[in-house]
Amino acid sequence: MDQNQHLKKMAEIQPSEKRKTRFYCDGFKMFLGALCLSFISKALNAVLMKSSITQIERRFDISSSTVGLIDGSFEIGNLFVIVFVSYFGAKLHRPKLIGTGCFIMGLGSILIALPHFFMGYYRYSKDISTNPSENSTSNLSICSINQNLLLNRTSPEIVGKGWEKESGSYMWIYVLMGNMLRGIGETPITPLGISYIDDFAPEGHSSFYLGNLHAIAMIGPIIGFTVGSIFSKMYVDIGYVDLSTVRITPKDSRWVGAWWLGFLMGGLIAIISSIPFFFLPKNPYKPQKERKASVSSPVQNEEKSQKANLTKRGQKFTESINGFFQSLKSILTNPLYVITLFMTLLQISSHIGSFTYVFKYVEQQYGQSASEANILFGSISIPTLATGMFTGGYIIKRFKLTLVGIAKLSFFTHALAFIFHLLNFALICENKSVAGLTLTYDGINPVASHINVPLSYCNSDCSCDESQWEPVCGDNGITYMSPCLAGCKSSSGSKKSIVFHNCSCAEINGFQNGNNSVKLGECPRENQCARKFYIYIVIQILGFLSMALGSTATIMLIFKNVQPELKSLAVGFHSLTIRALGGIPAPIYFGAMIDRACMKWSINNLGKQGTCRIYNSKLYGNTFFGLSTCLKFSALILYVVLISAMKKKYEGKNTKSSEPEGKAVNEANLEPLNGDATADHETHI
C-alpha cells in the first residue's frame, strides 16, 4: 500500500519536473545562441578595426603612432571595467550584464563611423575643387615656367567652406572614444558567458559547448575579412560623389575605402545580439542541484547576511580584500608564473604590433591594395590557426604530456615560428625608384638621403610645389612625385586615363628617342618583388601554423603552475597585464618606429604633417621585423629559463613520489582545460 502511494506521488511530481527541465533547456539554448551571435559580433568588429587601420590613418591624415593609440584605446576601455566585471559579475544578473555590454559595444562601433558624416568630402589632393563633382584632371599642375602655380595652394575661401574639419583636425578622437566604448562593452561577454555555461551546462558538457562556441565565433573573422575587402574597394564618399571623377585607384597610397560601412554593420549586429539577453533569467532551473549546491548556497547565504547585518557585510568585504591580496601575493611570488607572465607578454606584444600593421606592410612593401590584403590574410590565417590549435590540443591529449612536456612543446613550436619569421628579412623588396626621394630628379643617380633633394635643371624653372604628392609613372620605370616635378609641358586625355607629354626629366635618363610621357599613379613593383610576395605568403602560412600548434600549450602554462584555487586569479591577472602592458603600448611603439621609415609626408590644410605617402621599403621592413624579432627572441630565452626551473621543481617531486615517474605530474597538472582558463584577447583571432 505504501509502495503504491509512493509511485502515485512520484507520477504527480514528474510532469512538474519535466516542465522545469524543459524551461531550463529552452533558456540555456537561447543563452547559448545569443552568446554565439555576440562572439561573432565581437570578432567581426575586432577584424574590421585591424583591417581598417590604414584607411583610418589616411582619412584623418594622422601618423602611424597616432593610429596605434586609437587601436590601443580598446584595451584602455577594457581596463576601466575589467576589475568590476571580474569581482561583481558573477553576483549580478549575468545575461543582462552581457546584453548591456553588447549594446555598448554596438554603440561604440557606430560612434567610430559617425565622423564620416560630419566631415567634408575626402580630398586626396590639394588640387581638387571644393565641389566633389569637379575633381577633374584638368587642374593638375604641369611645368609652367616663371609662373606661380596658384592651383597648388589652398585658398582661405576653401578652408572657410568646411575643409578645416577634414585633415589636421581632431575628429579622430571620436574614433578613439568609439573604440574605447567597444572595449568597455566587450569586457563582460567572454568571462561571464563562459562562467554561465560552466555553471548551468549539463554535467560534463561544458567543454563541448565551449568548443562549439569558439568554433562558431570563427564566422566573425570570416565575415570581417570579407566585408573589409569589399568595402575597401568602394570609395570613401560613395553615394556622395561622381565616382567617374575620382582619378585614384585602390592601389594608390592616398586611396581611402568605405571603412565606415563596416563599423555601421558591426554595430547593428552587436545591438541585435544584445536583445535576447534581457529576456533570460539570472539562474535557469538546473536538474544537477547536487553539482551546484556548493556554488549556490554561499551566494544565497551571503545575500541574506548582507540584508540582515551591514556591519557583517563590511567585515566580509574586508576579509575578501585581504584574501584577494594574499592570493595575489601568492601568484606573484611564484617564480614559474612570473616567468610565464613576462614570456607571454613579450610574445603577445610581438603578435599585437605585427598584426596591427601587417596590412599596411603588405600594401607598402608589395604594392597590394587594402582589399587584396584583407582577402589574403582572411584566407590564410583563419584555417591555418584553427588547424594548428586543434592539432596542438590533440598532441597534448594523445601523448599525455607532462607539464614539462607541455612547456617543451610550446618552446619548440615558437622556436620553429621564430625561424620562419627570420626568413621575412630576405623577402624585403628594394626601395622604389622615386625621383626626388631615392634618385635625383633627373633619375640618373641615387641619393644618400631623401631629405631636401635639390631640383635638377630639368625642373628647376617649373616653379613646382615640392610638397605635392600626385605620383606619375614614366616610361623609364621611375615614379615622379607630380607631373610638374617630372618636367611635363602638356597633357592629353581626361580623368584616370590622362597622359602627360614632353616630360624633360623623364627623357634625360637615356630615353631621348622614346615616348617621353608619364601616366597617373606610381610605377608597379618589379617582377622580383612580386615573386617575393608569393614566397612571403607561404612563410606566413608556416609561421601561423607553428605558432598555433603551441598556443594551447602556452595557455595551459599560465594556470597550471599555480595552485588550483588560484587558477582564475592567475588567468585574470595575466589578462590584465597583457592588456595594460601589451595591448595598449605595442601598437603605439610599433607605429612610432614605422613612422621613422617615412620618406614623404602629406601636408594638411593647416600646414601640419599628416599621413605618410611612401616609405623607405628596406628601412620599413627591417624596422617592422626587427622589433618583432627582439621581442620573440627575448621570449625564447625566457622559455629556456622556464623549462629549466620547471624541471628542478617537478622532477624533484616525481623522485620523491611513490608513483611511477611522470604520473604524478600528469594527474596534478593535466586536468581538462575548462572555461576559467580561457583568456580573451582581441588580438587572438
Instruction: Report CA-CA distances (Å) from 119 to 63, 168, 207, 402, 565.
Output: 19, 12, 48, 58, 53
The mean pLDDT value for 81-94 works out to: 76
Which stretch of 313-322, 357-366, 414-423, 450-459 has the lowest confidence by average pLDDT?
Answer: 313-322
Q: What is the C-alpha separation between 602 and 600, in angstroms, rounded?
A: 7
Most confident of the following: 7-21, 60-74, 519-533, 600-614: 60-74
More confident residue, 496 or 487: 487
The mean pLDDT value for 342-353 works out to: 96
Helix (H, G, I), strand (E, B) or coil at 599: strand
Q: Identify the residue whose cell numbers are 626601395.
A: 431
Task: Give the pLDDT band of residue 5 (cuts 50, 70, 90).
Answer: low
pLDDT for 543 equals: 95
pLDDT for 123 equals: 85
* Beta-strand relationship, 479-480 and 434-435: parallel
Residue 513 burial (CB count, 10 A): 7
pLDDT for 506 equals: 83
pLDDT at 240 over 90: no
What are φ and ψ of residue 520, in 5° steps? -60, 140
The mean pLDDT value for 188-215 works out to: 79
More confident residue, 654 or 534: 534
Residue 610 burial (CB count, 10 A): 19
Q: What is the pLDDT of residues 654-666, one digit of tens each?
A: 433 333 333 433 4
Q: Identify the residue whose cell numbers are 605530474.
A: 665
Closest C-alpha among 437, 453, 459 to residue 142? 459
Q: What is the C-alpha separation between 323 and 243, in angstroms, rounded?
A: 64
Distance of CA 10 to the CA centre of its chain: 57
Amino acid at 479: T
List the grid coordinates of 437: 626621394
Question: Is the distance from CB of 551 to CB of 384 less than 8 angstroms?
Answer: no
Q: What is the pLDDT of residues 14-61, one digit of tens each?
A: 444 444 445 455 678 888 899 999 999 999 999 999 999 999 999 999
pLDDT for 121 equals: 87
Task: Give the pLDDT band of residue 245 (cuts 50, 70, 90).
Answer: confident
pLDDT for 76 equals: 93
Closest C-alpha among 496, 499, 470 to residue 484? 470
Q: What predicted TM-score, i.e. pTM, was given to this entire model?
A: 0.82
Question: Is the distance from CB of 481 to CB of 436 less than 8 angstroms?
Answer: yes
Task: Give the pLDDT band of residue 652 (cuts 50, 70, 90).
Answer: low
Q: What is the pLDDT of residues 540-580, one digit of tens each?
A: 999 999 999 998 899 889 888 888 888 878 887 888 899 99
Residue 621 burial (CB count, 10 A): 20
Helix (H, G, I), strand (E, B) or coil at 330: helix
The mean pLDDT value for 143-152 works out to: 49
Across the chain, mean pLDDT equals: 80
% of the chain beyond a pLDDT of 70: 78
Task: Give the pLDDT band of residue 159 (cuts 50, 70, 90).
Answer: very low
pLDDT at 621 over 80: yes
Cα distance from N-terminal residue to C-terminal residue, the chain: 64
Q: What is the pLDDT of residues 97-118, one digit of tens each?
A: 999 999 999 999 999 999 999 8
Residue 458 burial (CB count, 10 A): 23
pLDDT for 150 equals: 35
Q: Which residues lie below 8 Å from residue 628, measured CB to CB, with a gap of 6+? A: 350, 353, 354, 421
Helix (H, G, I), strand (E, B) or coil at 273: helix
List the grid coordinates of 111: 560612434
Question: Is the distance from CB of 198 to CB of 678 less than 8 angstroms?
Answer: no
pLDDT for 493 equals: 77
Instruction: Report CA-CA distances (Å) from 155 to 126, 129, 150, 164, 639.
Output: 10, 11, 9, 12, 60
Closest C-alpha among 287, 374, 231 to residue 24? 287
What are φ and ψ of residue 499, in 5° steps? -125, 135
Amino acid at 580: A
Q: What is the C-alpha separation between 503 and 476, in angstroms, rounded?
A: 11
Which pairs count as long-range contacts for 66-69, CB under 8 Å and 24+ apart, including other chains? 66/172, 66/591, 67/172, 67/587, 67/591, 68/356, 68/586, 68/587, 68/588, 68/589, 68/590, 68/591, 68/592, 69/176, 69/587, 69/588
pLDDT for 355 equals: 93
Write out the DSSP string of 539-568: HHHHHHHHHHHTHHHHHHHHHHTS-GGGHH
Q: Identify the residue whose cell numbers are 595551459.
A: 556
Helix (H, G, I), strand (E, B) or coil at 299: helix
pLDDT for 510 equals: 53
The per-residue b/e assignment along 476-507, b for 16 or more CB within 10 angstroms, e otherwise, is bebbbbbbbbbbbbebeeeeeebbbbebbbbb
Question: Is the distance from CB of 99 to CB of 275 less than 8 angstroms?
Answer: yes
List the grid coordinates of 332: 606573484
pLDDT at 451 over 70: yes
Burial classification of residue 640, based on how many CB atoms lie within 10 Å of its CB (0-12 exposed, 13-18 middle, 19 or more buried): exposed
Most confident of the following: 103-107, 148-152, 208-212, 507-511: 103-107
List the grid coordinates of 389: 590549435
Q: What is the pLDDT of residues 390-429, one digit of tens each?
A: 899 889 888 888 999 999 999 999 999 999 999 999 999 9
Task: Give the pLDDT band of residue 119 (cuts 50, 70, 90).
Answer: confident
The mean pLDDT value for 243-247 works out to: 85
Task: Give the pLDDT band of residue 139 (cuts 50, 70, 90).
Answer: low
Amino acid at 658: S
Question: Is the distance from CB of 68 to CB of 590 less than 8 angstroms?
Answer: yes
pLDDT at 193 over 90: no
Question: Is the distance from CB of 597 to CB of 363 less than 8 angstroms?
Answer: no
Closest C-alpha among 303, 264, 280 to residue 117? 264
Q: What is the pLDDT of residues 166-184, one digit of tens each?
A: 444 688 999 999 999 999 9
The mean pLDDT value for 339-361 works out to: 95
pLDDT for 284 equals: 66
Closest C-alpha among 683, 681, 675, 676 to residue 575? 681
pLDDT at 160 over 50: no
Count H helices and E strands in the chain, helices first. Answer: 23, 8
Q: What is the pLDDT of residues 283-322, one digit of tens each?
A: 765 444 444 444 444 444 545 554 555 455 556 666 667 7
Residue 680 burial (CB count, 10 A): 18
% of the chain beyond a pLDDT of 90: 42
What are φ and ψ of residue 248, in 5° steps? -105, 160
Q: Where are the alpha helices (DSSP H) in 333-438?
A: 335-366, 370-398, 403-422
- DSSP letter at 470 equals -
Question: Is the distance from CB of 420 to CB of 628 less than 8 angstroms?
Answer: no
Task: Give the pLDDT band of residue 635 (cuts 50, 70, 90).
Answer: very high
